[in-house]
Each structure stands twice: as structure tokens, then as C-alpha cells.
Amino acid sequence: MHSVNTAEFTITDTQHISSDIHGIKDHQISPGCLRTIARLQEAGYTSYLVGGAVRDLLLDRIPKDFDVATSATPDQVRRVFRRCRLIGRRFRLAHVYDGAETIEVATFRGSGDSDIHSEHEHLMENGRIVRDNVFGSEHEDAVRRDFTANALFYDPGKHLLIDHVGGYADLKERRLSLIGDAETRYREDPVRMLRAIRFASSRSLRLAEETRQPIRELAQLLAQVPPARLFDEVCKLMLSGHAYKATRKLAKYSLFKQLFPDVSVTLTADGSLQASPMLVQALRNTDQRVRDELPVTPGFLFAVLLWEPLQQRMAELTQTGMNAMEAMTQASDELLFVQSRSVALPRRFGAMCREIWMMQHRFRHRKGKRAVRLLEEIRFRAAFDFLKLRAVEDPRMVEPAEWWEHLQTLGIERQREELGLPANAKINQPDRTGKKPRRRKRGRGKPGSQPSSGGG
């Protein structure tokens, strides 16, 4: 039994839970991870499987990654393993290579005390902590993690689950709890609010009362987070296979408006998501594609998310006498610029948004070379899927979507007839592999489209 006290959390009883209770089996853990832990233990170091892998095993899910925490320093880890590389600056990690596997090994990190700040820790005026991490004990390592469910250690050698913070009981109750005072932890790092939503949504956990209670009041703290970091977090949320559920929770806790200030998303009295039918369908389609292990690109999702405010701004510009394409161009630039202040899209995804939006105007051309050029565009499939989503809320788009879908099922000769082309006209069939066509000399390349990106 151990007792560790910090300003944030008090541990009174460390639990050692046997295999007949926790039910974790070694065959559920990657062989490379098991060998890494065994080698470190044989060398005299305390070593465990940690974090999300332990959480997911207890929830009967297949972990994506297996991480190791140890008492060995990075240099000591490197001396144990011949195939090992140290990475990181402020806190060094070891990557151990076992066959095709790469196992991340981290030294136990120091306590997250926020009352007594060491020379390695700096508290900013807004309460956020910038910490030059230091090594510590396994107890300190557990306490400094964000949620109790992520602070469990598993020792494969002894088949023991080690719980310093009550995470096992929380998981048995399917409850997600922050370690320590929730407001303090959110102020230290506001992204923890998004992580709470992601874990609750993707693992079907309920937020503990003390964990969820401060979120609405502190939602505006997301404005302090670099927009590029928020893009990464939004992608994790939206591409988790639970985008619809996560969006409902973001709206419920006033977080969605912080991320997408121009997008209208709220909840009805009964808790249903109130958004454009196009967006709702896109979220559901995205979830299904993730479950089917099909590709989804953030560029497509952002194009859907921002379509409604784009149309509103275009309407304002056309009223000033600007034509539709000019209005589309200016509205796209303005909207993506404003959005970048909250969640910044990398340039390639912003370009994809523009291409998808611009191509919508071209679907009205069904005859001749202009229709052929559209069919051969690299982004054709994404733009077509976007058109089908538009048909969900705009009856005028149903017939065009059906026509273009039918066209793609036809052979070359029938396509020529539909497009009003002469019998000898060349039509390059779109590449359905999703690979970007290679450039070839003198126009010998074979243009194609990328696969559906989340809307079909």
C-alpha cells in the first residue's frame, strides 16, 4: 500500500488486480511488446504495458498501439536493445525495433504538482502549464496522466493489473474521470476537454460529474490552443468512427462553436443533433467508412462542414453584383482564412475544399469536352460524393446526382452517346484505385479520380 499526495490528487490504496479478475491475456498483446517488457525486467528495470492499450483491453477492444513505461532511463533502454533509437528533446523517448514492430518506451515521468513548481515547470498566467518533463516513479507517472482509465499499468510477467488512481473501478462502471481537480487540469491544457469528448464517444463511456461539469464554462479556453494542434485533435475526433456522436457532445458542451464559429450546429430539446441534413449524413457516412476501413480525408469533411456558411457568404457577394464563380472564389478565401483562426487546415486540405466547391458548378455541363474534362478530374469522385450529399437537403440536386452516377456505370460507347461525342472521341476512364496518376511525357498519362472521401 502506498500513499502519494499532490495538490491535485491523493492516492491512498494501490490495487494489484489478478488475472482471474481483470481477464487480460498475453495473446492479446503484441509479441514485440511482450519481449520488450521481458527484456527490460530481466535487466532489472520495472516495466509495464501502459495507457490506451490497457484501457482498450479491459473494454474488450483491440488496441492500435502498445506502449511501455519503465524505470530505465532512455540511455539505459538503449543499452539493453541493440535496435533502439532515442527521439524527442524536452522529454526523450526510446523506439525499440522488434522485427516489423516499433515499440515506444517511455521512462516514468515526474509528478504533475501544480502548487509547487520546480525549475522544470512554468505556470502561465492563464493557468496553462509548460513543463520540461523530469523522470519520476511509477506512482508519479500514474498521477500525471489525464484520465484514470489511461493510468493503468499491466505487468505481463506477473499477469497483474496495477491501479494507482481508481481507473479499474471507473472502467467497470464505464465512467471517464479526470485525475485531480477538473478545472485545474483543463486550464493546464484545454485540449483535455476534446480528449474527454473523444474517449467518451469512441469508447461509449459516460463523463463523471466532476469531469463534465466545468466544460461549458471553460470551452472558450480552446482559443488559447494553437489552431494547428486543434486540427489534429479535430481529425482524431472526426475520424474515430464516432463522428456523429462526438459532434453531438461537442455541441452539448459548447465546444463545437469554439472550433467552427461559422457553422450552425446545436442540440434539440431531446438531445438530437440539429444541423444541416447534408452535414448529418456526412458524419454518418464517415463513421460507416471508418468501420468499413475505407479511406476518409479531412479535406472532404471540412468542405461539408463549411458549405453552409460558404453559401451564405456567396449570397451576400452576389447581391453586390458579383457573378457566381467570383463569389465562390472570394467566399472560399474569406471562409478558410477565418476558419484558420480556430482550426487551421493544412494547405493541401484547404486546396481540396476549394476544388470540391468549385467543381459543383461544373456538374451542370453534361455535353461535350467540358463534361469529359470534369469526369477525368483527379478530385471528380470526391466532388461527385459531395454532389450526392447536397441532394440530401436540396431536391434540385437529386436528378443531376442520379445522372452522373448513371454515367459512371456505362461503357465507353454509351458514355460517348450520353455526352454527345463522336464515335471516335477519346474518354479516359477515371482511376478507381485512388492513386494520383503519374505524369507522363506528351500527355500519355491516364487521368483519374480519387476514391470517395467520406460522402458516398
State the catalytic residues: 65, 67, 146
| Nearest by Cα to 192 from 163, 164, 212, 173 | 212
Q: Say which residue the cell 530505465 belongs to.
A: 72
User: End-to-end distance of the chain based on CA atoms, in angstroms?
Assistant: 55
Q: Which three cell numbers stand for residue 280?
A: 448529418
Q: Which helix (H) or strand (E) holds 15?
A: strand 15-17
Full DSSP string of 389-416: HHHHH-GGGHHHHHHHHHHHHS-HHHHH
CB half-sphere exposure, 370, CA atoms < 13 A: 8
Distance, CA of 3 to CA of 234 (rounded, Å): 38
Distance, CA of 15 to CA of 160 (rounded, Å): 10
Exposed, middle or buried by CB within 10 Å (0-12, 13-18, 19+), for 413?
exposed
State the amino acid at position 286 in one-letter form: T
Are residues 96 and 45 in contact, defined by beta-carbon separation less than 8 angstroms?
A: no
Distance, CA of 164 to CA of 11 (rounded, Å): 6
Q: Count Cβ neighbours within 10 Å for each residue of 364-401 and write b for 16 or more, e otherwise.
A: eeeeeeebbebbbbbbbbbbbbbbbbbbbeeeebeebb
Are residues 42 and 77 in contact, defined by beta-carbon separation less than 8 angstroms?
A: no
- The three-class DSSP label of residue 40 is helix
Full DSSP string of 137-156: -HHHHHHTSSBGGG-EEEET
Distance, CA of 186 to CA of 243 (rounded, Å): 22
Distance, CA of 383 to CA of 290 (rounded, Å): 19
